[in-house]
Amino acid sequence: MTTTLDRTTTSRGLTALFTLALVLAAYRGFRMPGDWAATLEAISVTDGFHRRFLVGTLLHPLALATGYAYWVFAAAAFAVLAAVLGVVAVAFAHARHPGRKLLVAGWLLLPSGGFLFHEVGYFDQVLYLLLFAALWQLPRRPAVASGLMTAAVFTHEIAALTVLPVFAVVLLRRSSLRTTAMLLVTPVVAELAVLALPASSAGAVAGLQTAMATADFTPRADALALFERTQSQSWQLYSITGVLLCVAPICAVVVLGALLQRLDALAVAAVAAPALLAFAGWDWARWGFLLVVNFAVVLWLSPARSLRPLPLLAAAVLLAYLPLPYFDAQHPRELTIGQAFSTPRGNRTVNTAPPSLCTVSDPPCASTFSRAIASPSPLPSVA
């Protein structure tokens, strides 16, 4: 009787902690999707784009019918975020081991929780939603799971260093090497094809800019410019070494944390894989966020009885103090009443480009910052 009562009390306490963590994460990071994200959501294969086209292709008919209205892309972004939060809530509710519940609540309490709300509209959230769907389908429909991972590649090519390694770890734990290879071959071939093809056809960027001329938000020219540059040209715009140095502390904490949890080498590699995104782009805080996400997901997928609380707590403390800045010099909302009532209301402005892009983009970055057309956030600004 006493044991049952203790378990009930613990469960209620953890539920309260989860609810508080979710509210705090939303308060610190919630904003309207940025015009950068909305522009990328308009990318479609029908317009001649060969990367990151899945979301835009699905939204293409509605975007055309509404004249590329901002609400189409904002609604899609919030639908994905709501789905991700739903998966997180279900995972928490179904967790039987208190350690798993603490893992979910702790991830939301860390800066990663606020960053999740801050990057609404980015394809990272679609990638992990597809991963969760694939893991759900894997026991009963493995071919469908493989197809969902292929869809992740068409959503964003960084799937190769984020969700695919996690999927591979789960496959190797549950299946034979032969089965693993069979289920990975399609997404891997798709990834190679996406990287081998030009990012867009000739004239695709100009055509989309013309089509979006009547949109009720400012399409980001610098976002579309990504599809006209080679990787070597992008490397000239930022310092790979600088990005690696920024990501290194977060990578060191999560890798050491994984090792102290006695994860196998493949699981540790899946945790560390997002650090290699430093060779793909300059969004170091975003890569750090993805490192923390992979760390949490891999731990969640590991046996609950193997979780070691003290090393995990130490990793959480370190991650709480490591910087994870928002885009465009924005910052999380402060948890003070004065801040809540003295700060201007939020807008959609976001810029993921390095300073050097402001001298080469056409038009310049300074002239492509968006105006806040949609209703502003009812919360204080994150700018």
Alpha helices in 110-176 (DSSP H): 111-118, 124-137, 142-155, 163-174
Q: What is the pLDDT of residue 137?
A: 96
pTM of the model: 0.86
Angle at 45 between CA 128 and CA 192, to 5 degrees: 60
Q: Residue 358 — pLDDT band, cuts 50, 70, 90?
A: very low
C-beta of residue 149 within 8 angstroms of C-beta of residue 156? no
Count the neighbouring beta carbons within 10 Å of the beta carbon of residue 317.
11
Count the neighbouring beta carbons within 10 Å of the beta carbon of residue 243.
22
Res. 293: pLDDT tops 70: yes
Q: Residue 3 — pLDDT band, cuts 50, 70, 90?
A: low
What average pLDDT does the chain have? 86
63-67, 332-336, 360-364, range with the lowest pLDDT: 360-364
- Model confidence over 40-73: pLDDT tens digits? 999 999 999 999 999 999 999 999 999 999 999 9
What is the share, in percent, of the chain residues with pLDDT greater than 70? 85
Q: Residue 349 — pLDDT band, cuts 50, 70, 90?
A: very low
- Model confidence over 98-152: pLDDT tens digits? 889 999 999 999 999 999 999 999 999 999 999 999 999 999 999 999 999 999 9
Q: What is the pLDDT of residue 91?
A: 93
What's the N-to-C CA distance of the chain in angstroms? 52
Q: What is the pLDDT of residue 98?
A: 87
Res. 86: pLDDT tops 90: yes
Q: Is 4 exposed, middle or buried (0-12, 13-18, 19+ CB in 10 A)?
A: exposed
CB-hemisphere CA count at 13 Å for 177? 0
φ, ψ of residue 280 to 5 degrees: the values are -105, -30
